[in-house]
Structure 1
């Protein structure tokens, strides 16, 4: 058992970050191996725009559950790469509607087979270890638990209970 495994919940965030970083590095390597200039961090925007002709930055922010500034920064990065553009909404002149450019649609066509291969590969990996089959439902349950619990307040409550017991 390594240090991270032995520390359990004390390093949950670190373990999840390490797992995520390793996974994303492998996904980015797969794109690179295929000669595709695509970063895994762009996935949510490309996925949503593959399903919608255009979306506002607010809609992208809400659906990806990131802050509006973070979504705006990603869109600016994609605009600089000429992969997306934005146009003023016909309904509301204050809203900018984001859509893929021709280059973005060409890139989307290249990455769709990679997404299919990622799904098939992950199914293979998960099916090789029965314990892994619970991963996505467990992550979903933990995400829901964190939405329903103010973790920092609960930690403070535990500290206060312990402090009162020591008085």
Structure 2
């Protein structure tokens, strides 16, 4: 049993400290994996110095609201690692201007892609809504326990440096990927409805031959994701649908690349808008749809999908 969880709000300070220490330890594992000699506890002060073209000790304290001893200790560690240099102020010789050294600038270049991935992973871990901070902490720690935080970041970094995703149009040889990717996704989150099975088994009949389009994301020539623009009715309306990404490639924004490609393609076709159907329990997906400009509509009573409880529209 987790005693701290049992304390509720009374143990909030201890819970935050535990989360902080855990994230620092996991971040250190990421730095070690990429052979970067850096301490995650030094991040805030190093970042302030990197963002400024010379900064004083007092300016660091005013920016971060850290205690002076904590700042001095961090600066000493950065200096010992050779990451910063001190210069006298031209107007006030009592002031010391702190800047990155050449080694510091090189280290910053190495750290930036890691910080980008850390930021993306934390956003992914903390997107869902909750009614209290304690509930949010419970969810966050559950995710930490489910999959290694450091490994998730490392995988994200490696994905970023791999060959770029290329997106290609439907070919008959990709039909099995269209079926398999979507069925796997549906079984993971919901179930395969008869309408799904009919469309997935006959993509040319229901999508391609009606003027629709199916796209595939490939990584190193391997299909890792798919999405479709499917005509609905006779009014020239298209649904953005059947989006699925391979389980081992999720969390690397492949779905967002497919989404942007579809939007750009729909605009090039001269479409006035796109619609989609989803479910509110897919909070990350709904967040991304809103991010791309989709707004919620009233869903019809005879929605084509039983699992759908939200309909969204993007007007160009």
Residue of structure 1 equivalent to 2:24: 24
Aligned residues: 134
| 2:69 alignment partner in structure 1 | 69
1:130 to partner: Cα distance: 3.1
Q: Which residue of 2 aligns with 1:60?
A: 60
Corresponding residue number in structure 1 for 2:130: 131
Q: Which of the pair has more CA radius of gyration?
A: 2
Q: Which runs of 5+ in 1 are unaligned?
A: 139-167
Unaligned runs of 5+ residues in structure 2 are: 137-316
- State TM-score, norm by structure 1: 0.73
C-alpha deviations, 1:70-121, integer Å up to 9, x for none? 2112111111111101111112111111110000000000000101011111
Q: Aligned equivalents of 2:11 and 2:59: distance in 1?
A: 33
Are the counterparts in 1 of residues 61 and 68 from structure 2 also a CA contact under 8 Å? yes
TM-score by length of 2: 0.40
Output the CA distance in 2 between the equivalents of 1:105 and 1:45: 14
State the alpha-carbon separation in 2 of the partners of residues 39 and 102 from structure 1. Answer: 18
Superposed CA deviations along residues 13-64 of structure 1, whole A, max 9, x for unmatched, are: 2111111000111111111111111111111122112211111011112211
RMSD: 2.0
- Which of 1 and 2 has higher RCO (CA within 8 Å, sep 6+)? 1
More helix by share: 1
Worse-superposed segment, 18-27 or 44-53: 44-53
Counterpart in 1 of 2:40?
Answer: 40
